[in-house]
Amino acid sequence: MRLALAIVIPVAAAILQGTVAPLVAIGGVRPSLPILVAAAWSVAAGAREAVWWAFVGGIASDLLSGGPLGAFACASLPPVAAIGLGERASGRSTPVLLGALLVGLAALAAGVLYLGIIAVTGQPIPSVPVEAGTTLAGAVYTGALAVLVYPLARVVRRITERQGSSGW
């Protein structure tokens, strides 16, 4: 079941990034839905599974956005992996606000890495300061949404652990 989740949820997040995220933009700032779900899963279940979520969501986002193939996926992997490192005690979860902060930090790091990849590949960046500010604001937005999404990820992790069908 977790293997199916690792495909369906990141692809759905990438699709929603292109369709729904523009509708919920605040002042032109959008949350990063693929990072949101992958990073929330990383905090809830650990880096081992979450890097696949980041990779699948990143590739789907790259294919749908028309950006350099693999750029978003490459930018997503290190921060999602970093926040999922560490021991996951069975009875103790990361507190919601700390989890949301970690998700926001992952979104910020992924955004900065993405801008770096875009610059290195020679893609035009209209205004680096504006893009950096938008990246920071998007990370805050993503972290705020994690207050709702991260607890859901914890619940899904517990349900799938009880079923004993991790697929990993």
Model confidence band, residue 50 (pLDDT cutoffs 50, 70, 90): very high
108: pLDDT strictly greater than 50: yes
Model confidence band, residue 123 (pLDDT cutoffs 50, 70, 90): confident
Nearest alpha-carbon partner for 107 in 148, 137, 71: 137
d(CA 157, CA 105): 22
165: pLDDT strictly greater than 80: no
d(CA 156, CA 133): 33
- Give the pLDDT score at 166: 45
Mean pLDDT of 102-131: 93
Indicate the SS3 state at residue 161. Answer: helix
pTM of the model: 0.90
More confident position, 91 or 73: 73
More confident position, 37 or 91: 37
Contact status, residue 23 vs residue 136, Cβ threshold 8 Å: no
d(CA 85, CA 126): 35
More confident position, 1 or 111: 111
Model confidence band, residue 91 (pLDDT cutoffs 50, 70, 90): low
The structure tokens listed for 65 are 């956005």
